[in-house]
Structure 1
Amino acid sequence: MFESCHSPHEIAHLLRRRFGLPVQLLAGRPMITTGSVIGALVMPPYLGGEVLGALDPELQAPVVADPGNRTWTFLVTPPSLGKPVDTAVRSQLAAHQVTVVPGGRFVLLPTTDSTLGWHWAAEPAPGTLRLPPRTAVIEAIHRVIALHAPTS
C-alpha cells in the first residue's frame, strides 16, 4: 500500500484519501489525536486477534500494530457525550493489559507494509471512515476474556 509514498506528507495524504482518517503530521510522523472523532484501545496482539474474531463482521475495527507486534491499537468511536469507561471496567481491562486511551493522546499510524515498522494488523475499509463503537469492542474483549476464565 505504501510503496508509492516517498515522504511522510505522501503517507498522510494516502491515509486521508483512502480511509478518511484525520491524519496530522507531528515531527514527520503521521498520527491521529484521540478525542471527539476517534478513540483507541490498546492491547496485546494475542488478545487483539481474538477480539477481532469476536466482533460482529459489520463492526470490524482498524487496528494499528507497532514495530515487532508488541501492541495492537484498535481505532474506535469516541465515547458518546464524553462518557468515561467505568473504573471497575478499566481495572478489569487493565488486568488483561488493555488500555483505554484518553482523549488528547497521539496514536501513530502505519508508514509501511512491513512488520518492522508501524503497520496495519487490520486495515480499515477504503472510503468513508467507519469505526466500531468503543462499547462494542469492550464487550468483545469481555467475551474473549470470559472464554479463557477458569471454570470451577
Structure 2
Amino acid sequence: MMFARCHGTRDIAEVYRRLGFLTVSCALDRVSLVASPKLGAVVIPPESGPGIRDRLLADSRCRSAPILSYARPGREWVFVVGPSWGRGFAEPTLSALEAHGVRVLVAGQRIWLPMSDNRVGWYWITPPVDAESLPYRTTVIATVRDHLEDLRTQTAGA
C-alpha cells in the first residue's frame, strides 16, 4: 500500500518525492505535478488505454507505465511520461491525436496525483516504480499512433 502511513497531503507528497518526483507540490489540499519538458502526461480515451498499456509493457525498453484515472465511468487514462527524444511534436501530429481524443499536456498544466490506495477520486491503474522509469513521451505517442493505425486498419478490413 503506497499511502498506508500518510496522514495528509504533505505526507503523500513525501511519498512521491521518495519515488523521485521532486517537483511534486501541494495546492488546494491536493498533490500534483506540473508538466514540464522533462515530465508530462499523455491523456488517452479509456477504450484505448488497455491496448496502449499492453503494447508499452510488451516493449522490453519500457520498464514501467504509470497510469492514473478518475473513479467515474468513461474517464480518460493519464499516462505519466518522461521527456521526448529530439524535437517537439509537429502540429499535424498533435492535431491528428486530438481528433482521436488524445491530448499531450503542455508545460505548466497540472497532473493531479492519487492520494489514496482506494479507487476513490484519482487512483493508480498502474502505479509508478520511480521517476527514472517513466516511458519517454515519444515512445508513448508512437505507441498511440501505432494503436490508432491498427484500429483504422481493422475497421477498414471489416
Assess same fold via TM > 0.5: yes
The answer for the alignment partner of 2:20 in structure 1 is: 20
CA contact (8 A) 2:85 2:138 kept: no
The answer for the alignment partner of 2:125 in structure 1 is: 121
CA contact (8 A) 1:31 1:106 kept: yes
CA contact (8 A) 1:76 1:133 kept: yes
Q: Residue 144 of structure 2: which of 134, 141, 145 is its match?
A: 141
1:76 aligns with 2:67: no
1:49 aligns with 2:50: yes
The answer for the alignment partner of 1:108 in structure 2 is: 112
Query: For residues 84 and 99 of structure 1, what CA distance do their matches in structure 2 show?
Result: 14
Q: Cα RMSD over matched residues? A: 1.8
CA contact (8 A) 1:61 1:75 kept: yes
TM-score (norm 1): 0.88
Q: 1:80 to 1:136 in 2, by over 3 A?
A: closer
Between the aligned residues of both structures, percent identity stands at 31
3-state SS of the aligned residue for 1:89?
helix
Find runs of 4+ consecutive structure 1 residues off by over 4 angstroms: none
TM-score (norm 2): 0.85
Q: Spell out, residue by residue over 1:29-83, the C-alpha distance to the aligned partner (whole angstroms, 9 max, x if none).
A: 11101113302111122212111111114413211212326021111123356x3
Q: Spell out, residue by residue over 1:106-149, the C-alpha distance to the aligned partner (whole angstroms, 9 max, x if none).
A: 100111122221111111114x5321111110111111112211
Q: What amino acid is aligned across from residue 63 of structure 1 in structure 2?
A: I
Task: Flag structure 2 segments of 5+ consecutive residues without an equivalent.
Answer: none
1:5 aligns with 2:6: yes
1:67 aligns with 2:71: yes
Query: For residues 37 and 130 of structure 1, what CA distance do their matches in structure 2 show?
Result: 13
